[in-house]
């Protein structure tokens, strides 16, 4: 009896979640979008395939980084050695792991008396110990090479596929005969692969290089996955393919620039970063609102009309535009600093990776010691903006 009641409750929840009046335009039902011998339409259960594929992509990444990216990095003489290790000390290690990684001045003085070490030596120990948890340049290069390879492949595929479609040239084609637009093999492959990749990024974010924009990136990945899912389920796949292809273009350049940075090819790095900045700002603050938001907000309103999931979809797209604006601000800020210094320097988003920035500096109340404790920080040119989080992989 309890099992039957539970089944009825679950059926009620599913019926509420898949309410046709939320997901579909007026007078359209799920039955209208069932697959037939004449036409195939997107089905929500198609997306289940993305979960095992996300795991497969993650495993492919591990193999790629080990057997392809790593030899390439070694060929470019990128060292596997991480930061200098702190000398073993049980007392300091206990403080570091159990109390704080950034001891204040009072604690430093107490440790100095307990160990008979001067304060500067203890500061240096904590800095070196924090640096031990940072990935090597080799690990960062491998991660960027994997992302570069995927973005290059998926962007090339997207361009090759979309140039043959009418909606690339006339965005109103995204809405004519909507939602009765058949699902092609190309669209299905494109969607499932993109969704699988971003699911793998969402989960690997907890194991990858930790950045200070972790929560923003997490929000970004959730928004991206939600957009892909929404647009697939209610068959907004045509405009979805435009959004994905537009965003993949700049991702290719930033990962290439980061690889050049890790390989200490500063001129190439600066050139690629300049190309990335121009493409990012022009596509995200120009093409995206004029081309994408215009068709999803205005052309679709005129041809199809609004309905509940239409509002949610457009709110997600606007959220993405806000993220574009935030990252564009950081890019412009970095570019201005690079122009003033003659090279790309510190990433406002990536203190975790840089051995020359926040994490290597003593806390604010210890700044009078900084000149003596930052002597190991020599690589200001190569541990800057481009060592940061792969800038967003938005869709």
H-run or E-run covering 261: helix 237-262
User: What does the pLDDT look like over 17-29, one tens digit per residue?
Assistant: 999 999 999 999 9
Q: Residue 349 gets which letter from DSSP?
A: T
Could you tell me if 77 and 137 are in contact, meaning their C-beta atoms sit under 8 angstroms apart? Answer: no
Give the residue with greater pLDDT, 61 vs 8.
61
User: 177: left (phi > 0), else alpha (psi -120 to 50), else beta?
Assistant: left
- Does the pLDDT value for residue 16 go beyond 60? yes
Residue 386: pLDDT band (50, 70, 90) is low
Q: Residue 353 gets which letter from DSSP?
A: T
Residue 356: pLDDT band (50, 70, 90) is very low
Residue 391: pLDDT band (50, 70, 90) is very low
| CB neighbour list of residue 335: distance below 8 Å, 6 or more residues apart | 273, 274, 277
Could you tell me if 350 and 211 are in contact, meaning their C-beta atoms sit under 8 angstroms apart? Answer: yes
What's the rounded mean pLDDT across residues 54-78? Answer: 95
Report the SS3 class of residue 288: helix
- Does the pLDDT value for residue 347 go beyond 50? no
CA distance 346 to 279: 21
C-alpha distance from residue 86 to each of 89, 128, 160, 176, 374 (Å): 8, 5, 52, 65, 15
pLDDT over 90 for what percent of the chain?
Answer: 58
User: What does the pLDDT read at residue 196?
Assistant: 97
Could you tell me if 390 and 258 are in contact, meaning their C-beta atoms sit under 8 angstroms apart? Answer: yes
Q: Which of 61-75, 101-115, 121-135, 346-360 has the highest mean pLDDT?
A: 61-75
CA distance 155 to 175: 24
Q: What are phi and psi of 200, to 5 degrees?
A: -65, -35
* Residue from 312, 291, 173 nearest 237 by CA: 173
Could you tell me if 31 and 180 are in contact, meaning their C-beta atoms sit under 8 angstroms apart? Answer: no
Could you tell me if 158 and 245 are in contact, meaning their C-beta atoms sit under 8 angstroms apart? Answer: yes
User: What does the pLDDT look like over 35-53, one tens digit per residue?
Assistant: 998 899 999 999 999 999 9
Could you tell me if 303 and 178 are in contact, meaning their C-beta atoms sit under 8 angstroms apart? Answer: yes
Could you tell me if 308 and 22 are in contact, meaning their C-beta atoms sit under 8 angstroms apart? Answer: yes
Peptide bond into 179 cis (omega under 30): yes
What is the number of helices (H) and of strands (E) in the chain? 17, 0
CA distance 208 to 78: 19
Weakest-pLDDT range from 95-99, 104-108, 321-325, 354-358: 354-358
CA distance 365 to 312: 46
Q: How many CB atoms lie within 10 A of CB 55?
A: 14
Q: Residue 214 gets which letter from DSSP?
A: H
User: What does the pLDDT read at residue 31?
Assistant: 94
Q: Residue 361 gets which letter from DSSP?
A: S
CA distance 18 to 265: 53
CATH number attached to the domain at 90-133: 1.10.10.60
How do the domains of the chain map onto residue ranges? 40-75+136-341, 90-133
What's the rounded mean pLDDT across residues 205-221? Answer: 76
Q: How many CB atoms lie within 10 A of CB 90?
A: 7
* Residue from 150, 186, 162, 188 nearest 47 by CA: 188
What's the rounded mean pLDDT across residues 6-33? Answer: 90
CA distance 302 to 24: 16
Residue 102: pLDDT band (50, 70, 90) is confident
């Amino acid at each position: 009896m309890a099992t039957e009641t539970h089944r009825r409750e679950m059926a009620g929840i599913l019926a509420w979640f898949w309410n046709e009046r939320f997901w579909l335009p007026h007078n359209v039902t799920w039955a209208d979008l069932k697959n037939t011998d004449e036409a195939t339409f997107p089905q929500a259960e198609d997306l289940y395939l993305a979960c095992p594929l996300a795991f497969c992509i993650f495993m492919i990444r591990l193999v790629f980084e080990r057997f392809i990216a790593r030899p390439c990095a070694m060929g470019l003489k990128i060292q596997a050695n991480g930061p200098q290790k702190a000398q073993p000390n049980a007392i300091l290690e206990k403080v570091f792991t159990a109390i704080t990684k950034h001891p204040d001045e009072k604690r430093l003085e107490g440790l100095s008396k307990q160990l008979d070490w001067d304060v500067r030596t203890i500061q240096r120990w904590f800095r070196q110990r924090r640096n031990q948890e940072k990935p090597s340049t080799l690990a960062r290069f491998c991660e960027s090479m994997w992302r570069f390879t995927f973005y290059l492949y998926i962007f090339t595929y997207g361009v090759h596929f979309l140039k043959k479609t009418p909606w690339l040239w006339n965005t109103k084609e995204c809405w004519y005969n909507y939602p009765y637009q058949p699902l092609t093999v190309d669209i299905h492959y494109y969607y499932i692969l993109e969704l699988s990749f971003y699911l793998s990024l969402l989960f690997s974010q907890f194991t990858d290089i930790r950045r200070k924009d972790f929560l923003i990136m997490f929000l970004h990945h959730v928004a991206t996955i939600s957009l892909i899912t929404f647009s697939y389920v209610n068959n907004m796949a045509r405009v979805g393919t435009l959004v994905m292809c537009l965003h993949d273009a700049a991702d290719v350049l930033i990962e290439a620039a980061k690889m050049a940075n890790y390989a200490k090819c500063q001129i190439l790095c600066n050139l690629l970063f300049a190309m990335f900045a121009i493409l990012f700002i022009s596509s995200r603050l120009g093409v995206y609102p004029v081309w994408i938001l215009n068709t999803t907000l205005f052309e679709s309103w005129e041809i199809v009309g609004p309905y509940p999931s239409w509002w949610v979809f457009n709110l997600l797209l606007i959220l993405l535009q806000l993220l574009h604006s935030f990252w564009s601000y950081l890019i412009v800020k970095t570019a201005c600093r690079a122009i003033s210094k003659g090279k790309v320097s510190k990433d406002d988003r990536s203190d975790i990776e840089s051995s020359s920035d926040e994490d290597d500096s003593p806390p604010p109340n210890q700044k009078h010691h900084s000149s003596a404790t930052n002597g190991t920080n020599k690589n200001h040119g190569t541990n800057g903006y481009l060592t940061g989080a792969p800038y967003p992989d938005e869709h």
